[in-house]
Amino acid sequence: MVREGNARRREPVRGALIHYHEIALKGKNRGFFLKQLEANLLAATRDLDCGPLRRPAGRLFLEMGEGTLWEDLRPRLSRVFGIANFSPAFVMAPDLELLAKRIEEEVSGRSFRSFRVAARRAFKTFPQTSQQINEMIGARVQRICSARVDLTNPDLTVAIEVLPNEAFVYFEKLHGPGGLPVGTGGTLACLLSGGIDSPVAAHRMMKRGCRIVFVHFHSQPFADRTSQDKAIELVRVLTQYQFTSRLYLVPFGEIQQEVVARVTGRLRVLMYRRLMLRIAEQIAHKEGAQALVTGESLGQVSSQTIENIAAIEQASTLPILRPLIGMDKDEITQQAQQVGSYEISIIPDQDCCSMFTPRQAATHTTHREIELAERPLDLDRLTAQGQAAAHSLELSFPG
Protein backbone atom coordinates (compact mmCIF):
# COMPACT_ATOMS: atom_id res chain seq x y z
CA MET A 1 0.00 0.00 0.00
CA VAL A 2 1.33 3.45 -0.94
CA ARG A 3 0.60 6.29 1.42
CA GLU A 4 1.31 9.99 1.27
CA GLY A 5 1.01 10.35 5.06
CA ASN A 6 3.44 12.74 6.72
CA ALA A 7 2.27 12.84 10.33
CA ARG A 8 4.87 14.03 12.84
CA ARG A 9 6.81 11.14 14.37
CA ARG A 10 8.46 11.20 17.77
CA GLU A 11 9.42 7.53 17.82
CA PRO A 12 11.73 6.48 14.98
CA VAL A 13 10.46 4.11 12.30
CA ARG A 14 12.97 2.02 10.37
CA GLY A 15 12.88 1.37 6.67
CA ALA A 16 14.56 1.97 3.32
CA LEU A 17 14.98 5.51 2.04
CA ILE A 18 14.97 5.38 -1.76
CA HIS A 19 16.14 8.08 -4.15
CA TYR A 20 15.55 8.14 -7.89
CA HIS A 21 17.32 10.23 -10.52
CA GLU A 22 16.29 9.68 -14.14
CA ILE A 23 12.61 9.59 -13.16
CA ALA A 24 12.97 13.09 -11.69
CA LEU A 25 13.70 14.40 -15.20
CA LYS A 26 10.40 13.16 -16.65
CA GLY A 27 8.40 16.35 -16.06
CA LYS A 28 4.65 15.88 -16.46
CA ASN A 29 5.11 12.11 -16.95
CA ARG A 30 6.92 11.67 -13.63
CA GLY A 31 3.80 10.38 -11.88
CA PHE A 32 3.47 7.51 -14.37
CA PHE A 33 7.07 6.40 -13.77
CA LEU A 34 6.77 6.75 -9.99
CA LYS A 35 3.58 4.71 -9.91
CA GLN A 36 5.31 1.87 -11.77
CA LEU A 37 8.38 2.10 -9.53
CA GLU A 38 6.14 1.80 -6.48
CA ALA A 39 4.35 -1.21 -7.98
CA ASN A 40 7.71 -2.87 -8.69
CA LEU A 41 8.97 -2.22 -5.16
CA LEU A 42 5.87 -3.83 -3.71
CA ALA A 43 6.22 -6.78 -6.10
CA ALA A 44 9.90 -7.25 -5.18
CA THR A 45 9.12 -7.35 -1.45
CA ARG A 46 5.70 -8.98 -1.40
CA ASP A 47 6.89 -11.93 0.71
CA LEU A 48 8.68 -9.71 3.27
CA ASP A 49 7.25 -7.87 6.25
CA CYS A 50 7.40 -4.42 4.65
CA GLY A 51 5.10 -1.46 4.24
CA PRO A 52 3.56 0.90 3.92
CA LEU A 53 5.41 2.51 1.03
CA ARG A 54 5.20 6.30 1.14
CA ARG A 55 6.22 9.10 -1.20
CA PRO A 56 7.76 11.98 0.78
CA ALA A 57 8.87 14.83 -1.49
CA GLY A 58 11.40 13.65 -4.10
CA ARG A 59 12.00 10.24 -2.51
CA LEU A 60 10.32 7.02 -1.40
CA PHE A 61 10.31 5.39 2.03
CA LEU A 62 9.50 1.71 2.54
CA GLU A 63 8.90 0.83 6.18
CA MET A 64 10.40 -2.40 7.49
CA GLY A 65 8.39 -4.61 9.80
CA GLU A 66 9.96 -6.30 12.80
CA GLY A 67 10.13 -9.57 10.87
CA THR A 68 12.35 -8.17 8.09
CA LEU A 69 16.13 -7.97 8.22
CA TRP A 70 18.08 -5.46 6.16
CA GLU A 71 20.12 -8.37 4.80
CA ASP A 72 16.92 -9.70 3.24
CA LEU A 73 15.66 -6.38 1.88
CA ARG A 74 18.94 -5.07 0.49
CA PRO A 75 19.35 -7.51 -2.45
CA ARG A 76 15.73 -6.98 -3.46
CA LEU A 77 16.18 -3.20 -3.75
CA SER A 78 19.46 -3.62 -5.61
CA ARG A 79 17.55 -5.20 -8.51
CA VAL A 80 14.65 -2.74 -8.86
CA PHE A 81 15.33 -0.58 -11.90
CA GLY A 82 14.60 3.11 -11.38
CA ILE A 83 16.41 3.34 -8.03
CA ALA A 84 19.47 5.62 -8.06
CA ASN A 85 20.50 4.85 -4.47
CA PHE A 86 18.98 3.55 -1.26
CA SER A 87 19.81 3.47 2.43
CA PRO A 88 18.77 1.75 5.65
CA ALA A 89 17.26 4.71 7.48
CA PHE A 90 14.98 5.79 10.27
CA VAL A 91 12.41 8.56 10.20
CA MET A 92 11.13 10.68 13.06
CA ALA A 93 9.88 14.16 13.92
CA PRO A 94 12.04 17.07 12.63
CA ASP A 95 13.04 18.09 16.16
CA LEU A 96 16.77 18.81 16.47
CA GLU A 97 17.09 17.73 20.09
CA LEU A 98 15.21 14.48 19.47
CA LEU A 99 17.35 13.85 16.40
CA ALA A 100 20.56 14.49 18.33
CA LYS A 101 19.61 12.07 21.10
CA ARG A 102 18.66 9.37 18.65
CA ILE A 103 21.83 9.80 16.60
CA GLU A 104 23.88 9.55 19.80
CA GLU A 105 22.22 6.21 20.53
CA GLU A 106 22.86 4.99 16.99
CA VAL A 107 26.55 5.90 16.77
CA SER A 108 27.45 4.77 20.29
CA GLY A 109 27.47 1.16 19.12
CA ARG A 110 29.59 1.82 16.03
CA SER A 111 33.36 1.75 15.58
CA PHE A 112 34.82 4.60 13.54
CA ARG A 113 37.84 6.91 13.72
CA SER A 114 36.48 9.78 11.63
CA PHE A 115 33.06 11.10 10.68
CA ARG A 116 31.13 13.93 9.12
CA VAL A 117 27.54 15.16 9.33
CA ALA A 118 25.79 15.86 6.02
CA ALA A 119 22.48 17.62 6.67
CA ARG A 120 20.12 18.65 3.90
CA ARG A 121 17.35 21.05 4.93
CA ALA A 122 14.63 20.68 2.31
CA PHE A 123 12.29 22.41 4.81
CA LYS A 124 13.63 25.97 4.53
CA THR A 125 11.61 27.37 7.44
CA PHE A 126 13.25 24.88 9.82
CA PRO A 127 14.87 27.01 12.58
CA GLN A 128 18.45 25.89 11.91
CA THR A 129 20.33 25.98 8.60
CA SER A 130 22.01 22.88 7.18
CA GLN A 131 25.38 24.10 8.45
CA GLN A 132 24.02 24.75 11.93
CA ILE A 133 22.54 21.23 11.99
CA ASN A 134 25.93 19.85 10.96
CA GLU A 135 27.71 21.73 13.74
CA MET A 136 25.23 20.87 16.48
CA ILE A 137 24.97 17.16 15.62
CA GLY A 138 28.73 16.96 15.05
CA ALA A 139 29.43 18.36 18.49
CA ARG A 140 27.05 15.85 20.09
CA VAL A 141 28.70 12.94 18.27
CA GLN A 142 32.17 14.09 19.32
CA ARG A 143 30.98 14.34 22.91
CA ILE A 144 30.35 10.59 23.10
CA CYS A 145 33.27 9.34 21.01
CA SER A 146 36.86 10.25 20.24
CA ALA A 147 36.46 10.32 16.46
CA ARG A 148 37.72 13.29 14.49
CA VAL A 149 35.81 15.26 11.87
CA ASP A 150 36.82 14.47 8.29
CA LEU A 151 34.79 16.17 5.58
CA THR A 152 36.47 14.45 2.63
CA ASN A 153 37.00 10.77 3.46
CA PRO A 154 35.27 9.88 6.73
CA ASP A 155 34.76 6.37 8.09
CA LEU A 156 31.16 7.30 8.94
CA THR A 157 28.73 9.79 7.40
CA VAL A 158 25.70 10.86 9.40
CA ALA A 159 23.22 11.91 6.69
CA ILE A 160 20.13 13.90 7.68
CA GLU A 161 17.29 14.99 5.39
CA VAL A 162 14.83 17.41 6.99
CA LEU A 163 11.34 17.68 5.49
CA PRO A 164 8.38 19.74 6.76
CA ASN A 165 6.90 17.02 8.97
CA GLU A 166 9.63 14.40 9.32
CA ALA A 167 13.37 13.90 9.16
CA PHE A 168 15.33 10.95 7.79
CA VAL A 169 18.67 9.76 9.16
CA TYR A 170 20.98 7.19 7.58
CA PHE A 171 24.63 6.16 7.72
CA GLU A 172 25.31 4.56 4.34
CA LYS A 173 24.20 5.07 0.77
CA LEU A 174 24.08 2.08 -1.58
CA HIS A 175 24.04 2.30 -5.37
CA GLY A 176 20.82 1.20 -7.02
CA PRO A 177 20.67 -0.27 -10.54
CA GLY A 178 19.50 3.02 -12.07
CA GLY A 179 17.55 3.03 -15.32
CA LEU A 180 13.77 3.16 -15.61
CA PRO A 181 11.15 1.00 -13.90
CA VAL A 182 10.25 -2.19 -15.75
CA GLY A 183 6.81 -1.70 -17.26
CA THR A 184 7.33 1.86 -18.50
CA GLY A 185 9.04 1.02 -21.81
CA GLY A 186 6.67 -1.44 -23.47
CA THR A 187 7.04 -5.17 -24.12
CA LEU A 188 9.80 -6.86 -26.14
CA ALA A 189 10.37 -10.47 -27.21
CA CYS A 190 13.94 -11.66 -26.62
CA LEU A 191 15.45 -14.59 -28.50
CA LEU A 192 17.15 -16.35 -25.59
CA SER A 193 19.89 -18.86 -26.32
CA GLY A 194 21.67 -20.78 -23.60
CA GLY A 195 24.78 -18.64 -24.06
CA ILE A 196 26.28 -15.62 -22.34
CA ASP A 197 25.06 -12.84 -24.61
CA SER A 198 21.27 -12.91 -24.87
CA PRO A 199 20.54 -12.83 -21.09
CA VAL A 200 22.69 -9.68 -20.86
CA ALA A 201 20.82 -8.15 -23.80
CA ALA A 202 17.50 -8.84 -22.05
CA HIS A 203 18.79 -7.33 -18.81
CA ARG A 204 19.93 -4.16 -20.56
CA MET A 205 16.50 -3.66 -22.12
CA MET A 206 14.81 -4.24 -18.75
CA LYS A 207 16.97 -1.41 -17.44
CA ARG A 208 15.37 0.85 -20.05
CA GLY A 209 11.94 0.01 -18.62
CA CYS A 210 10.98 -2.81 -21.00
CA ARG A 211 9.17 -5.96 -19.98
CA ILE A 212 10.65 -9.02 -21.67
CA VAL A 213 8.97 -12.12 -23.08
CA PHE A 214 11.54 -14.86 -23.71
CA VAL A 215 11.68 -17.23 -26.71
CA HIS A 216 14.10 -20.18 -26.63
CA PHE A 217 14.65 -22.54 -29.57
CA HIS A 218 15.81 -26.09 -28.80
CA SER A 219 16.64 -29.10 -30.95
CA GLN A 220 14.50 -31.82 -29.45
CA PRO A 221 13.97 -34.57 -30.46
CA PHE A 222 17.59 -34.57 -31.67
CA ALA A 223 19.10 -33.20 -28.44
CA ASP A 224 18.56 -33.60 -24.71
CA ARG A 225 16.80 -31.13 -22.39
CA THR A 226 19.95 -29.35 -21.23
CA SER A 227 19.40 -26.19 -23.26
CA GLN A 228 15.76 -25.98 -22.14
CA ASP A 229 16.72 -26.41 -18.50
CA LYS A 230 19.36 -23.70 -18.90
CA ALA A 231 16.84 -21.35 -20.50
CA ILE A 232 14.44 -21.88 -17.60
CA GLU A 233 17.18 -21.16 -15.05
CA LEU A 234 18.32 -18.08 -16.97
CA VAL A 235 14.78 -16.72 -17.03
CA ARG A 236 14.49 -17.51 -13.32
CA VAL A 237 17.52 -15.26 -12.69
CA LEU A 238 16.22 -12.49 -14.95
CA THR A 239 12.77 -12.63 -13.37
CA GLN A 240 14.34 -11.18 -10.22
CA TYR A 241 14.51 -7.91 -12.19
CA GLN A 242 10.97 -7.89 -13.64
CA PHE A 243 9.12 -10.16 -11.11
CA THR A 244 6.98 -12.07 -13.63
CA SER A 245 8.13 -13.65 -16.90
CA ARG A 246 6.83 -15.84 -19.68
CA LEU A 247 9.17 -18.20 -21.50
CA TYR A 248 8.30 -19.90 -24.79
CA LEU A 249 10.16 -23.13 -25.57
CA VAL A 250 10.09 -23.78 -29.32
CA PRO A 251 11.08 -27.21 -30.71
CA PHE A 252 13.27 -26.44 -33.71
CA GLY A 253 14.96 -29.74 -34.54
CA GLU A 254 12.52 -30.93 -37.19
CA ILE A 255 12.50 -27.50 -38.83
CA GLN A 256 16.30 -27.59 -38.94
CA GLN A 257 16.19 -31.05 -40.46
CA GLU A 258 14.05 -29.76 -43.30
CA VAL A 259 16.44 -26.85 -43.89
CA VAL A 260 19.36 -29.30 -44.04
CA ALA A 261 17.55 -31.30 -46.71
CA ARG A 262 16.82 -28.29 -48.92
CA VAL A 263 19.52 -25.61 -48.36
CA THR A 264 23.22 -25.65 -49.19
CA GLY A 265 25.49 -25.98 -46.15
CA ARG A 266 27.11 -22.53 -46.04
CA LEU A 267 23.71 -20.77 -45.88
CA ARG A 268 21.97 -22.99 -43.34
CA VAL A 269 22.81 -20.91 -40.25
CA LEU A 270 21.28 -17.84 -41.90
CA MET A 271 18.17 -19.85 -42.78
CA TYR A 272 17.88 -21.03 -39.15
CA ARG A 273 18.12 -17.49 -37.83
CA ARG A 274 15.66 -16.06 -40.34
CA LEU A 275 13.13 -18.75 -39.42
CA MET A 276 13.71 -18.07 -35.72
CA LEU A 277 12.91 -14.40 -36.32
CA ARG A 278 9.73 -15.28 -38.17
CA ILE A 279 8.54 -17.59 -35.38
CA ALA A 280 9.57 -15.13 -32.63
CA GLU A 281 7.72 -12.36 -34.45
CA GLN A 282 4.50 -14.38 -34.39
CA ILE A 283 4.93 -14.96 -30.66
CA ALA A 284 5.69 -11.26 -30.22
CA HIS A 285 2.43 -10.32 -31.94
CA LYS A 286 0.56 -12.72 -29.66
CA GLU A 287 2.17 -11.08 -26.59
CA GLY A 288 1.74 -7.49 -27.77
CA ALA A 289 5.50 -6.99 -28.05
CA GLN A 290 6.62 -4.06 -30.18
CA ALA A 291 10.12 -5.28 -31.09
CA LEU A 292 12.51 -8.24 -30.94
CA VAL A 293 15.76 -8.35 -28.93
CA THR A 294 18.87 -10.38 -29.79
CA GLY A 295 22.29 -10.76 -28.19
CA GLU A 296 24.20 -10.11 -31.40
CA SER A 297 27.60 -8.40 -31.21
CA LEU A 298 29.10 -7.16 -34.46
CA GLY A 299 31.74 -9.54 -35.82
CA GLN A 300 31.67 -11.92 -32.84
CA VAL A 301 30.76 -14.96 -35.00
CA SER A 302 30.35 -15.56 -38.71
CA SER A 303 26.59 -14.96 -38.70
CA GLN A 304 27.12 -11.54 -37.11
CA THR A 305 28.98 -9.75 -39.89
CA ILE A 306 27.22 -6.60 -40.99
CA GLU A 307 26.17 -8.28 -44.26
CA ASN A 308 24.69 -11.28 -42.46
CA ILE A 309 22.97 -9.18 -39.81
CA ALA A 310 21.32 -7.21 -42.62
CA ALA A 311 20.33 -10.41 -44.42
CA ILE A 312 18.86 -11.99 -41.29
CA GLU A 313 16.82 -8.99 -40.14
CA GLN A 314 15.00 -8.76 -43.50
CA ALA A 315 12.95 -11.76 -42.33
CA SER A 316 11.24 -9.66 -39.64
CA THR A 317 8.77 -6.83 -40.00
CA LEU A 318 9.30 -5.81 -36.35
CA PRO A 319 12.24 -3.67 -35.24
CA ILE A 320 15.19 -5.70 -33.93
CA LEU A 321 17.06 -4.23 -30.96
CA ARG A 322 20.68 -5.28 -30.39
CA PRO A 323 21.87 -3.70 -27.13
CA LEU A 324 25.24 -5.55 -27.27
CA ILE A 325 26.10 -4.70 -30.86
CA GLY A 326 29.20 -2.62 -29.99
CA MET A 327 30.41 -4.63 -26.98
CA ASP A 328 33.23 -7.17 -26.93
CA LYS A 329 33.11 -10.57 -25.25
CA ASP A 330 34.96 -9.45 -22.10
CA GLU A 331 32.50 -6.61 -21.53
CA ILE A 332 29.53 -8.91 -22.04
CA THR A 333 31.00 -11.57 -19.75
CA GLN A 334 31.59 -9.02 -17.01
CA GLN A 335 27.97 -7.88 -17.19
CA ALA A 336 26.73 -11.49 -17.19
CA GLN A 337 28.62 -12.04 -13.94
CA GLN A 338 27.04 -8.94 -12.44
CA VAL A 339 23.55 -10.01 -13.55
CA GLY A 340 24.04 -13.51 -12.14
CA SER A 341 23.55 -15.42 -15.40
CA TYR A 342 27.15 -16.28 -16.25
CA GLU A 343 27.52 -19.52 -14.27
CA ILE A 344 24.36 -20.91 -15.87
CA SER A 345 25.33 -19.80 -19.38
CA ILE A 346 28.66 -21.66 -19.35
CA ILE A 347 27.08 -25.04 -18.55
CA PRO A 348 27.72 -27.22 -21.64
CA ASP A 349 24.63 -27.99 -23.71
CA GLN A 350 23.53 -28.97 -27.19
CA ASP A 351 22.54 -25.58 -28.57
CA CYS A 352 20.23 -25.69 -31.56
CA CYS A 353 22.46 -23.34 -33.57
CA SER A 354 25.36 -25.76 -33.17
CA MET A 355 23.23 -28.69 -34.38
CA PHE A 356 23.28 -29.42 -38.14
CA THR A 357 25.89 -26.68 -38.57
CA PRO A 358 28.22 -26.85 -41.61
CA ARG A 359 31.98 -26.61 -41.30
CA GLN A 360 32.00 -23.33 -43.18
CA ALA A 361 29.27 -20.69 -42.97
CA ALA A 362 28.71 -17.77 -45.30
CA THR A 363 30.04 -14.47 -43.93
CA HIS A 364 29.08 -12.05 -46.71
CA THR A 365 25.66 -12.96 -48.03
CA THR A 366 23.67 -11.09 -50.66
CA HIS A 367 19.93 -10.63 -50.81
CA ARG A 368 19.86 -12.61 -54.06
CA GLU A 369 21.57 -15.62 -52.43
CA ILE A 370 19.07 -15.60 -49.56
CA GLU A 371 16.13 -15.37 -51.95
CA LEU A 372 17.33 -18.36 -53.99
CA ALA A 373 18.14 -20.43 -50.87
CA GLU A 374 14.67 -19.95 -49.38
CA ARG A 375 12.69 -20.85 -52.51
CA PRO A 376 12.57 -24.61 -51.72
CA LEU A 377 11.25 -23.91 -48.20
CA ASP A 378 7.60 -23.52 -47.29
CA LEU A 379 8.29 -20.61 -44.96
CA ASP A 380 4.67 -20.02 -43.92
CA ARG A 381 4.21 -23.66 -42.96
CA LEU A 382 7.50 -23.87 -41.05
CA THR A 383 6.73 -20.63 -39.19
CA ALA A 384 3.25 -21.83 -38.25
CA GLN A 385 4.70 -25.21 -37.21
CA GLY A 386 7.18 -23.58 -34.85
CA GLN A 387 4.60 -21.26 -33.32
CA ALA A 388 2.03 -24.02 -32.85
CA ALA A 389 4.52 -26.31 -31.13
CA ALA A 390 5.78 -23.63 -28.72
CA HIS A 391 5.21 -24.40 -25.05
CA SER A 392 5.01 -21.52 -22.55
CA LEU A 393 6.01 -21.36 -18.90
CA GLU A 394 5.22 -18.73 -16.28
CA LEU A 395 7.86 -17.74 -13.72
CA SER A 396 7.61 -15.28 -10.86
CA PHE A 397 9.79 -13.72 -8.15
CA PRO A 398 9.54 -14.00 -5.20
CA GLY A 399 8.49 -17.62 -5.37
Q: What is the pTM of this model?
A: 0.92
Residue 219 lies in a domain: yes
Task: Show which of 175, 195, 228 is a domain's final residue.
Answer: 175
Residue 54 annotated as binding site: no
What pLDDT does residue 294 have? 97
What pLDDT does residue 222 have? 80
pLDDT band with cut points at 50, 70 and 90 for residue 179:
very high
Residue 304 annotated as binding site: yes
pLDDT, average across residues 171-192 = 97
Spatial contact of 130 and 96, defined as CB atoms under 8 Å apart: no
What pLDDT does residue 9 have? 53
Q: What is the pLDDT of residues 337-379, one digit of tens each?
A: 999 999 999 998 766 555 556 666 777 888 888 999 999 999 9
Statement to judge: residues 132 and 192 lie in one domain:
no
Residue 277 annotated as binding site: no
Statement to judge: residues 158 and 204 lie in one domain:
no
Strands 114-121 and 156-162, bridge-based pairing: parallel
pLDDT band with cut points at 50, 70 and 90 for residue 216:
very high
Residue 387 annotated as binding site: no
Ramachandran bin of 306, using left for φ above 0, alpha for ψ from -120 to 50, beta for the remaining angles: alpha
User: In the predicted model, is pLDDT for residue 4 greater than 60?
Assistant: no
Residue 148 annotated as binding site: no
Number of domains forming the structure of the chain: 2
Under DSSP, the state recorded for 2 is E
Residue 203 annotated as binding site: no
Half-sphere exposure of 366 (CA within 13 A, CB side): 3
Task: Show which of 126, 148, 175 is a domain's final residue.
Answer: 175
Q: Which residues pair with 321 in a beta bridge?
A: 293
Bond before 12 cis per omega within 30 degrees: no
Residue 275 annotated as binding site: no
Q: Please provide the average confidence, as pLDDT, over all residues in the chain.
A: 92
Statement to judge: residues 215 and 258 lie in one domain:
yes
pLDDT band with cut points at 50, 70 and 90 for residue 122:
confident
Q: What is the pLDDT of residues 292-349, one digit of tens each?
A: 999 999 988 878 899 999 999 999 999 999 999 999 999 999 999 999 999 999 998 7
